Structure 1
């Protein structure tokens, strides 16, 4: 008889493209979301928490990574007796669910509807360095207003948000453009073939990577890329390509000069003139609010979501220098983006509903603050009450309850109490500031031993007790003075 194989144990590892977050990271993200929510709330936006799962039909347009199952979303079909179950999917952003929510509840919601939402989204994309399949987004949107003041307000709020979380003025810039201006440029070019238009748009999107000369080559016959491979161009003549290059390089020394050069690029295009007028209105509104060129600028090179946005587009870029994996200097790059999307709700209602919004990449923003050394979330652990006698757990629980009731974070050691050294090792692993000890002698005397673990760590670092001689590492206190003495010591440690 064949010997039965033992059941194989599952591997203890996260799936590719996912990661685990531990105490300090979670605390830092929570604090950042709290600060961002405070800014959004101050601007009059209301919180919305929609379902993490939507129907595939409601999500609509999938992501462009079409070589993945279900075109970039995590989707599955509900079981149904008639084999006609709905397809469901994890949300891949927070905007598509907003469109469904507004269409479903529009009779009960104020218009314009101003909402913010925060939470994880999931994308079934190929994972890579720094590219995860689950990540946090933090969105704010205004639905139901076609007023360009709504777009300007989002940009102002984005600038305020960056400064609120710790990005100093001068380390970021919010850049603004308008899709209608780009449509005007395409109109001037006289392109009638949709495929050729799409190729031009894809080429424009590469401006940040290949620059003016690279775009000129790609709009023409083509170019050699960094790997030596030849990339075919769109095949435009120099005259046809010129409006695109005028558009992309139209950033002047100030707003007026930029708008003037954009006007030259769109020539007599009506739609281009509409976009130009919207940019001028936004510039005026932002200037009236005190948002100068040190914070927000018009920049024609911003060409986000070419097939998605219908009007103003904006992007927040962190401008400070970092080193890449090869030690070369480069700017940190974009941490937020958005724009006007007037066609999304129309899928549900049949009527155009204007909307504009922004999405902040929380993980990238946290990474930027790490690099700048501006994350100061308190990672101090709890006060640990050690266990000297396992039969006296009620006494130790009374101590810890008294501390908690006074607002002090505390816990009783719940591991094996046999080794006191292991209890202190546990306290160190928890980054605990204080350990409290009460053996039989202390119980009889009505006292407690307090061990200052922060001071102990400093003595270990300096290998010198002398410079800390005025502060004892361990001392005895009356049991009745527990809360006052622990509060005083925590205050002393914090300073």
Structure 2
């Protein structure tokens, strides 16, 4: 007699680590928000683009495979090489929406208009360690202009971003788009390192190159908002202790060098004109830095002409983004209203979007200069901001539920639901076991149904239906006296022909 096969263990019903599921309200609210943003982008002349979720790792470029970690940073796999099928290429899920755009711009350069304005919305995947609020799959919403070297394209992106934030409900005064220029920062670095042959203050053994010192300075500047002036001075100098007490080695700059960097970071004046003047004094000896200031001045003038005041978009030298990526203007949208953190402390909500000019990305494919600029909105973060302001996250209204009193009359109930849907009213028929009417009302409550439709045999013979206002019923049950409940009943009887009109009245 053969032995019984070993019973296979049941699979675990759980999402992979770092991933999550999105249910009704999450999906609905996100779609509503993105639809409003898409309308703004469309109005500015941008076309939608949907690219493949899978790209070759070579095309993605940022995380090229190596011997030890072929999938570093991305979810990647090698395609099986088979006759007439796969070629053995390394493939990966896209980690952002910009790298696919660069591939599209190169692949279809003879078909696309120049400049090419596009927006894209969708999920991206990153093979990184997950943490609180940090997932391996998340949504992005991008808008880019490829093929224009004019800073008018950068100004247009910034203006469009302010319109998009207001379109989703963020009020003026609750956000600011801050603008800087990589060229200005390059000018600061020239002022700091230009005359130095050998860096005397090494932070590692072996005398780091000036290029390495520059990268260390850039990383430190990016911490200005977190550690403030004193913290940045310490990190640019000998180092400092962090909140845990651990000592962080400094960059090793002299006091004079540190003062130049701080002058740049604190150059923001009462208005754009004063900020530009302060910056010019900081980078006066740098042609690159002065070119960056000219570009910022042009952007500020164009924004003003478009009706974008400094209360909505402002020149701010403290904006530092992924600086190896950008080549010119950079921008960041920050929400300025306060929320409570996990410990009940007030803090500013912070950044929800960022971008800038990246003139070298398409060149990887074409070996030709192709200027580009764009913005990326963190979809989940912006949605969280809307919920924090009470602009999203309210319980969604569920469908009208047609209850079933007689299983043999299912066609009649389906006809009621069809009539409601034809009138633009969301409706469904209860499809569970109809024996227990209480369970049907519990189901309607769980669905967030505003109205329940009831028709038993007696009502059917008389050609009427019972329409139960579930919202009013719940309110009366919790707040009203017995007399009030009698004077304002939540359930009414109407002719079957008046069903749609009665439901419309209740829904307002």
Q: What TM-score range do you get, normalising by the shorter chain?
A: over 0.9
On the 8 A contact 1:28/1:377 being kept in 2, the answer is no
Find the counterpart in structure 1 of residue 158 from structure 2.
155
Unaligned runs of 5+ in 2: 195-208
The answer to whether residue 107 in structure 2 is matched with residue 104 in structure 1 is yes
Find the counterpart in structure 2 of residue 20 from structure 1.
21
On the 8 A contact 2:180/2:316 being kept in 1, the answer is yes
Question: Cα offset for 1:291?
Answer: 1.3
Question: Cα offset for 1:463?
Answer: 5.1
Question: Cα offset for 1:62?
Answer: 2.8
The answer to whether residue 206 in structure 2 is matched with residue 205 in structure 1 is no
Instruction: Write the distance in 2 (CA, Å) between the matches of 1:37 and 1:428.
Output: 34
Find the counterpart in structure 1 of residue 364 from structure 2.
347
Question: Cα offset for 1:457?
Answer: 1.1
Find the counterpart in structure 1 of residue 42 from structure 2.
41
Q: Which moved more, 1:463-472 or 1:97-106?
A: 463-472
Structure 2 counterparts to residues 90-101 of structure 1, below 5 A: 90-101=93-104
Per-residue Cα deviation, 1:172-221 (whole angstroms, up to 9, x for no partner): 11000000001111111125621111111111111111111111111111
Instruction: Write the distance in 2 (CA, Å) between the matches of 1:478 and 1:10.
Output: 52
Find the counterpart in structure 1 of residue 199 from structure 2.
none
Name the Cα RMSD after superposition.
2.0
Q: Which moved more, 1:293-302 or 1:458-467?
A: 458-467
Per-residue Cα deviation, 1:475-494 (whole angstroms, up to 9, x for no partner): 21111222222222222xxx
Instruction: Write the distance in 2 (CA, Å) between the matches of 1:150 and 1:3.
Output: 70
Find the counterpart in structure 2 of residue 389 from structure 1.
406
The answer to whether residue 106 in structure 2 is matched with residue 89 in structure 1 is no
Q: 1:185 aligned to 184, 188, 191, which one?
A: 188
Secondary structure of the corresponding residue to residue 315 of structure 1: strand
Find the counterpart in structure 2 of residue 281 from structure 1.
298
Instruction: Write the distance in 2 (CA, Å) between the matches of 1:339 and 1:455.
Output: 51
Question: Cα offset for 1:134?
Answer: 1.0
Find the counterpart in structure 2 of residue 360 from structure 1.
377
Question: Cα offset for 1:460?
Answer: 2.3
Structure 1: 4+ residue segments shifted above 4 A: 1-4
Question: Cα offset for 1:389?
Answer: 1.3
Structure 2 counterparts to residues 308-387 of structure 1, below 5 A: 308-375=325-392, 379-387=396-404
The answer to whether residue 247 in structure 2 is matched with residue 230 in structure 1 is yes
Query: Normalising by structure 1, what TM-score?
Result: 0.95
On the 8 A contact 1:68/1:124 being kept in 2, the answer is no
Per-residue Cα deviation, 1:69-107 (whole angstroms, up to 9, x for no partner): 722111111111389511111111111111111111111
The answer to whether residue 282 in structure 2 is matched with residue 265 in structure 1 is yes
Find the counterpart in structure 1 of residue 456 from structure 2.
439
Question: Cα offset for 1:464?
Answer: 3.0
Secondary structure of the corresponding residue to residue 369 of structure 2: coil
Judging changes above 3 Å, is the alpha-carbon distance between structure 1 residues 95 and 197 closer, same or farther for their aligned structure 2 residues?
Answer: same
Instruction: Write the distance in 1 (CA, Å) between the matches of 2:499 and 2:346.
Output: 53
Question: Cα offset for 1:399?
Answer: 1.6
Question: Cα offset for 1:443?
Answer: 1.4
Q: How many residues align?
A: 490
Question: Cα offset for 1:434?
Answer: 1.2
Find the counterpart in structure 2 of residue 122 from structure 1.
125
Q: 2:307 aligned to 282, 290, 293, which one?
A: 290
Per-residue Cα deviation, 1:33-54 (whole angstroms, up to 9, x for no partner): 0100011111111111111111
Instruction: Write the distance in 2 (CA, Å) between the matches of 1:488 and 1:3.
Output: 64
Question: Cα offset for 1:377?
Answer: 6.6
Find the counterpart in structure 1 of residue 116 from structure 2.
113
Find the counterpart in structure 2 of residue 59 from structure 1.
60
Instruction: Write the distance in 1 (CA, Å) between the matches of 2:340 and 2:501.
Output: 48
Instruction: Write the distance in 2 (CA, Å) between the matches of 1:435 and 1:410.
Output: 10
